[in-house]
Amino acid sequence: MNYSAITTKSLLFGTYFCLVAALSCTDHDIPQIPDEPASACLTTAGTPRTYPCEFKIEKLTFYAKDLTVLGEVVTGTPAIALKRSKAKRDSNPSATTSGSSGALTYDVKATVRRIANPSFPVSAGYLLSSTTISAGIFILHTPGERTFIGSPIALDVPIGSTVEIPFELTYIYGLSDAGGSLNPFLIIGANTFFLENDVTTVRFDRTRPPYNFVGNVVEAYMKIAASIIL
C-alpha cells in the first residue's frame, strides 16, 4: 500500500475542508452598520439622551382629497396652510354661517430615516401619536395629553434608509365673518407629531426631568404650525 499517496490525499482533503469552513463563516459574518452621528441626540435640557435616537423625521407631507400635495412641514419650518375645501373629510361641509364649526381630516405621510439601531427590540411595534396641547414636546406622560394614532407599526429598515408612514390628522375649525367675508380659522389641532419605540420609551426614568417630558423619550418628533384657509 502506498502510504505516502494516502497521507498526501488526506492532507489535501483536510486543507480543502478548512478553507470551505473558513469561507462559509466569512460569508455569514456581516458587519453591523454603525449608528449615524445624528443619533447622538440631546434632550430638551441640552444633555445627551440615555439611548440614541433611532429615527429622524425628514418631513410631513399633507395631501388634499385628490391626493395632490397641500404642503410639507420640515424641521425649522413648521408652518402649513391647510385648505378647508381640500380636506379629505369635513364633518360640517354645509357650514356657511359665522360661529359654525367642524372637523377637517387630512391624509399625511411622515418620511422617516433610520439613523440608529434600536436600543431595545420593540414589543407590539412603533407608536405614532400627536398632541394639541401648546406645550408640545414638553407635555407630560399624563393620560389625555396626547392622542395615539392607529395601531403599533413595524419599521424594519436598515440605517440610512427611509420609509413613508401614512396616517391621518384632524383639525377643528370655526367660521368667522371678517369684513363681509366668511373665513375659516383654526380652533385646535395637532402641533407636534411623535414616533416612539414602545419598549425604549418606558426604559427612561419618566418620574424625573428631563424624561418626564414626552419629547425626550420618543425616537423623533416634528412640530406643526397649521392654519386653516378657504
The answer, yes or no, to whether the previous bond of 210 is cis (omega within 30 of 0) is yes
pLDDT recorded at residue 126: 98
Mean pLDDT within 73-92: 98
Stated pTM of the model: 0.86
pLDDT tops 80 at residue 80:
yes
For residue 49, the model assigns a pLDDT of: 98
Q: How confident is the model at residue 178 (pLDDT cuts 50, 70, 90)?
A: confident
pLDDT grade for 180, boundaries at 50, 70 and 90: confident
pLDDT in tens, 148-165: 999 999 999 999 999 999
pLDDT confidence of 25, banded at 50, 70, 90?
Answer: very low
Whether 170 and 153 have beta carbons less than 8 Å apart is answered as: no
